[in-house]
Amino acid sequence: MRRKIVAGNWKMNMNHTEGLLLAKAVDDFLLKKELHSMEVILCPPYIHLSQIAGLLRASNISTGAQDCSDKESGAYTGEISAGMIKSTGAEYVIIGHSERRSYHNESDELLNAKIKTALKNKLSVIFCCGEHLDEREKGNHFNIVKSQIEKAFNGIESEDFANIIIAYEPVWAIGTGVTASSDQAQEMHSYIRSIIKEFYGKKLSEETVLLYGGSCKPSNSAELFSMDDVDGGLIGGASLKEEDFCKIIDSFPGK
């Protein structure tokens, strides 16, 4: 059985006090509920990571960063390395989010280098892929996603791919309130699984966790998560509200 994961991408939200309160509330919820068959990952801004990692008590909650540098260390003002992230107690890092691709011009080659650095530093990677609206309208969405995956994992061996989670996040659904239908999500997730099978074989394709992201909220999470190839969600806006995020966690069929 594949792991079930709900990850919260806080983006550039929550000051330090607010962040600690939210993390504690989610941790309390998980302690009370004992939903042990699923994992929750909180991805706050870097500066909260260390303290949040220290306060979490539930066994199935962990932390991740929202990005990392492709460099190991050195004179790169403002950058944060994968090794630094690991040293906070975090276990994950999001790489390739569409906001980084668009606003920071992150190329597939750069993302490939970031993934390699993250894996070398023993972080698991939540790799984001997904098409823009015009690409879907032209019927190009499968090609786009395949190319993103192919380039990002160039040179990554099977042993390392075991530490990869893929989040399908159609750009037109991120922060827009428009969600992919559960059929659209399932169709793409099943396609992504077929790509992994082609590159890494059947076993890894069946084991890889595929998350859906893009306006996932309490009103649609149960339906999305009920699809065969949707193993959870990467949640943006709704992860900032304790009640909504906990409802999403709780909406997993079978939990």
Q: Does 41 bind ligand PGA (CB under 6 A)?
A: no
Q: Would you say 37 and 255 are in contact if contact means Cβ atoms under 8 Å apart?
A: yes
Q: Write down the least CB distance from residue 174 to ligand PGA, Å.
A: 4
Q: Is 162 helix (H, G, I), strand (E, B) or coil?
A: coil
Q: Is 165 in the site for ligand PGA (CB under 6 A)?
A: no
Annotated catalytic, 34?
A: no
Supply the Cα-derived Rg of the chain in whole angstroms.
Answer: 17
How many Å apart are CA 99 and CA 239, to the nearest integer?
17
Q: Does 237 bind ligand PGA (CB under 6 A)?
A: yes
Q: Would you count residue 102 as binding ligand PGA (CB under 6 A)?
A: no
The CB-based long-range contact list for 45-50 (8 Å cut-off, 24+ gap) reads 45/10, 45/12, 45/13, 45/14, 45/19, 46/80, 46/85, 47/16, 48/14, 48/16, 48/19, 48/20, 48/23, 49/85, 49/88, 49/89, 49/90, 50/88, 50/89
Q: Report if residue 216 touches ligand PGA, rule: CB under 6 A.
A: yes
Our finding on whether 248 is near ligand PGA (CB under 6 A) is no
Q: Is 169 near ligand PGA (CB under 6 A)? A: yes
Among 6, 9, 82, 123, binds ligand PGA (CB under 6 A): 9
By CB under 6 A, tell whether 68 contacts ligand PGA: no
Minimal CB distance residue for ligand PGA: 236
With CB under 6 A as the contact rule, the residue among 85, 152, 180, 234 that binds ligand PGA is 234
- What minimum distance in Å lies between the beta carbon of 34 and ligand PGA? 26
**Which of the residues are catalytic?**
97, 169
List interacting residues with ligand PGA (CB under 6 A): 9, 169, 174-175, 213-216, 234-238
